[in-house]
Structure 1
């Protein structure tokens, strides 16, 4: 096995199962992960937009402020040791932390922050919109982000609170890169983009040492990391697309962690040899009713629907390990979430609600659903439970593209879908579930409210706008909780579940952190 492990760590060749040796053991200072990583298109934080790329960036780069490994629910100081907000002037002034170095050994300077933000705006690649929503563009970004000694001043143009801006800067494109190293590897004015898709230039806990698409990623510990070098000197992520192969590699000891096992595989693991950790994720799953259909506009239909979903029946059977009951639009695990689940499967109550409102049954409604697991099973469960109260779903399966296109065109009746925030600020979901200021057909908005033609009450629209600008964090979170209660109580959008993620690992692996987003996956605290 010494030869096998040497080959694994030196060249990380993906060996056929026949060449594996039973009872293997990975090195004590290396974490070996089996994972499907073929979604990676880009690693450069100015371009990266895929889940696995987000995981890598979380370990390679730091931000001025971030949701860090110690507690992924708290926005904490990182490269900035402190900051001062001037809401009236729409500015944040950050003081840079002393003594922090990039993995290259270069000091982290205020000028690197200016360069990093400007670079994202000028490249204008996929995630740039997260920063440009602050009113930044290539012409004005030099005035909006400035350095003076060890301080950085960030300005914005719009009715945003500093709390919202801090969450924007903590998002993936807010990563701080080493200007000197990046520009040394610039080619044809690309600001180092090609080089950063194969290398890293951050101050994070790890350094990207090898990336082979659909084969492997190798990270090595950053000995300069300002919070101390990680215990794992190497993190080797092997691309293993097949869940069954991941299971075999974990069982044989050739990997320490398997990230893509199916619920059936997880339930079949030997609990004495493998442990499974469950992590809530940011995607919420919902059923919605299009208000362009007259038979679906009665609020009694919306209320009854909340009592016709068999929440426990689904999460305790085919959704076990994949989803948990959650009935509000902001996912559990983030500041401002509302985690009460007042609705249960109660057919008698649903029937009474419909009868009291004079709703004539049966009602026949088409239900669009993505034609894959577990969505087909969810649709069939809804079909069975809603039929008990006289609401008959005709299931219309389609590809993801077909279903979403129909949703955008507002031509559906009922829709089963999911939603994840673009960045970790509650406004990202509040705008999607509680705001629609123009319900006209030609006023397209990428929100669940507009797509379901729900003309949100003016008071709710006003509260969403006010919450976005509220400078007091506690008051702001309370406003988002109130908005979630309102949407939960009465809207044509029935939020049912929050996704969960199961990771199987060897019993001796401790300290792995997997927050509710791929941007909050950390290997820094792992020990074996």
Structure 2
């Protein structure tokens, strides 16, 4: 076993840290007035992509922001430093030489918001519930079993080598719930929980975690309100209350921070950030952990199923033109693994714009005058403030020049995403927010993966790509980077996902706040945000 005992000073560091339905889920936040600026309330503006705060069910980026402040995980990343996870509920861990068994030692001073201790039994219950509820994030537990060795020791075993497990366990879905509290509200971790577990409604009205905040109110369409946890076991948060508000227009987010109505904005574009007064406000930029891509259907009724048409689309997009449309800080994606992850392709391997080749490919394809419908979410601005409509229009214009007629089909996010999930789109413009910072999270793009199923791409359709998917998952140590690069090259050579852009996320904050560190997965570490004394 390789020990991972964290240094003493780290052990004392406090924890401070796809299906979207835009419905009227829970709760009392709908009846609350918007938070007034000033005082002890931190207001964060973002375009909502939210559905549930139940750790076993939640799968949307906005929910991640709140979840990380409500529920502690065994390990976490400190701020935006993704080099290695640091202790949270676990003070140390050991891993077997073959990376199939991990033993975690829990700290003994951690308590839930009701004052009861966090035990290994709570971890086992939380993880088994994540598996057996069988909601969207259940795949995170694939091949894993978890047991309690004693009250403060957890053992996780895997069917294959999982060198990515420490990173995986930082995902908010691995937030540990108070088992006794949620069992009393209908939660179960047993097989069949997908039919018998009824705790989601409760968990959208009250939290059951050990984080620096507790849930005050939740609406997945307007705002999420949090209150400082008086029994938090770590360093108390600087802000007594946090309100995350749904502000869909990035320009309005900018105006709100400049006017003092909010303190943090998360969805500005690089172009909008250029005009900000840097002497009065803080602007930080980080490369996004996700790739904007086109998903091309392999259904026989779609022109994109023809390999020549698909290759023509790849060669017929003016990528430099897209960068100009997207704005400052955006770079071309070389593959589906973003540059911040192990296994990213070099920029020199990015697809090349070759309109003459694209025209030839269309001419020799089996489709006469190809006609394709391009779906995109008309109200989706969460990814670095990108305007999907402008990008879709540019793609439409590029493909018209090579002989492909594209009809745009904008729709609200819920509608557009549902069409994509149901496999009804021909060409769709999306990004995939990763659940944890490791390329293993992206194998869903491989043939037979849940993203590949949306475009009707199976292992039988691409046996070489399927084999490389398995090889990438099995790779360990330094071999992992090369394995994921080989996997992406095959996908780039004929797969149905066309990587386009990687934008830069911009965080704008007022002079009233300090320590605004943005994790690419969980967002702002709300428990660590400081307050300047006036």
TM over 0.5: yes
Q: Secondary structure in 2 aligned to 1:155?
A: strand
Q: Counterpart in 1 of 2:38?
A: 26
Q: Counterpart in 1 of 2:172?
A: 172
CA shift in 2, pair 1:503/1:169, >3 Å = closer
CA shift in 2, pair 1:363/1:428, >3 Å = farther
CA shift in 2, pair 1:103/1:333, >3 Å = farther
Shift of 1:132: 4.9
Q: Counterpart in 1 of 2:518?
A: 514
Shift of 1:299: 6.0
Q: Counterpart in 2 of 1:435?
A: 447
* CA distance, structure 2, for counterparts of residue 295 and residue 196 of structure 1: 45
CA shift in 2, pair 1:479/1:367, >3 Å = same
Q: Counterpart in 2 of 1:141?
A: none
Q: Counterpart in 1 of 2:488?
A: 484
CA shift in 2, pair 1:329/1:121, >3 Å = closer
* CA distance, structure 2, for counterparts of residue 343 and residue 363 of structure 1: 27
* CA distance, structure 1, for counterparts of residue 377 and residue 248 of structure 2: 21
Matched, 1:525 2:531: no
* CA distance, structure 2, for counterparts of residue 404 and residue 224 of structure 1: 38
Q: Counterpart in 2 of 1:372?
A: 378
* CA distance, structure 1, for counterparts of residue 388 and residue 171 of structure 2: 29
Contact 2:423 2:456 in 1 (8 A): yes
TM-score of the two chains, using structure 1 as the length reference: 0.75
Shift of 1:495: 0.8
Shift of 1:415: 4.2
CA shift in 2, pair 1:250/1:12, >3 Å = farther
CA shift in 2, pair 1:30/1:415, >3 Å = closer
* CA distance, structure 1, for counterparts of residue 252 and residue 426 of structure 2: 41
Q: Counterpart in 2 of 1:145?
A: 147
Matched, 1:308 2:316: yes
* CA distance, structure 2, for counterparts of residue 188 and residue 483 of structure 1: 39
Residues 179-208 of structure 1: per-residue CA shift (max 9 Å, x gap): 45556x64698786555433333333x222
Contact 2:56 2:130 in 1 (8 A): yes
User: Which protein is bigger by CA-based radius of gyration?
Assistant: 1
Question: Structure 1 residue aligned with 2:95, among 85, 91, 95?
Answer: 85
CA shift in 2, pair 1:298/1:71, >3 Å = same
Matched, 1:207 2:210: no
Shift of 1:508: 5.1
* CA distance, structure 2, for counterparts of residue 264 and residue 88 of structure 1: 47
Matched, 1:392 2:404: yes
* CA distance, structure 1, for counterparts of residue 374 and residue 458 of structure 2: 16
Residues 415-463 of structure 1: per-residue CA shift (max 9 Å, x gap): 444334455442332231x334xxxxxxx95416852579654333222
Shift of 1:46: 2.9
Q: Counterpart in 2 of 1:129?
A: 138
Contact 2:80 2:519 in 1 (8 A): no
Question: Structure 2 residue aligned with 1:55, among 62, 65, 68?
Answer: 65
Shift of 1:127: 4.5
* CA distance, structure 2, for counterparts of residue 234 and residue 380 of structure 1: 42
**1:436-451 correspondence runs (5 A):** 436=448, 446-447=451-452, 451=456
Q: Counterpart in 1 of 2:293?
A: 286
Q: Counterpart in 1 of 2:344?
A: 337
Q: How many equivalent pairs are there?
A: 481
CA RMSD of superposed structures (Å)? 4.2
Q: Secondary structure in 1 aligned to 2:214?
A: strand
Matched, 1:252 2:250: no
* CA distance, structure 1, for counterparts of residue 415 and residue 482 of structure 2: 38
Contact 1:329 1:430 in 2 (8 A): no
Shift of 1:320: 2.2
Question: Structure 1 residue aligned with 2:465, among 455, 460, 471?
Answer: 460
Shift of 1:303: 5.1
Q: Which runs of 5+ in 1 are unaligned?
A: 1-10, 137-143, 437-443
* CA distance, structure 2, for counterparts of residue 133 and residue 70 of structure 1: 27
Q: Secondary structure in 1 aligned to 2:489?
A: helix
* CA distance, structure 1, for counterparts of residue 206 and residue 110 of structure 2: 20
* CA distance, structure 2, for counterparts of residue 358 and residue 102 of structure 1: 65
* CA distance, structure 1, for counterparts of residue 441 and residue 69 of structure 2: 24
Contact 1:68 1:75 in 2 (8 A): yes
Q: Counterpart in 2 of 1:43?
A: 53
Q: Which runs of 5+ in 2 are unaligned?
A: 1-30, 189-196, 380-386
Residues 23-77 of structure 1: per-residue CA shift (max 9 Å, x gap): xx734x653334455x554323233333322111112222123334252453444
CA shift in 2, pair 1:306/1:165, >3 Å = same
* CA distance, structure 1, for counterparts of residue 51 and residue 302 of structure 2: 44
* CA distance, structure 1, for counterparts of residue 165 and residue 421 of structure 2: 29
Q: Counterpart in 1 of 2:226?
A: 218
Shift of 1:464: 1.1
Shift of 1:225: 4.1
Q: Secondary structure in 2 aligned to 1:316?
A: helix
Q: Counterpart in 1 of 2:332?
A: 325
CA shift in 2, pair 1:76/1:303, >3 Å = farther
* CA distance, structure 2, for counterparts of residue 430 and residue 181 of structure 1: 35
* CA distance, structure 1, for counterparts of residue 72 and residue 425 of structure 2: 43
Q: Secondary structure in 2 aligned to 1:59?
A: helix
Contact 1:408 1:451 in 2 (8 A): no
CA shift in 2, pair 1:423/1:371, >3 Å = closer
Contact 1:288 1:452 in 2 (8 A): no
* CA distance, structure 1, for counterparts of residue 362 and residue 399 of structure 2: 17
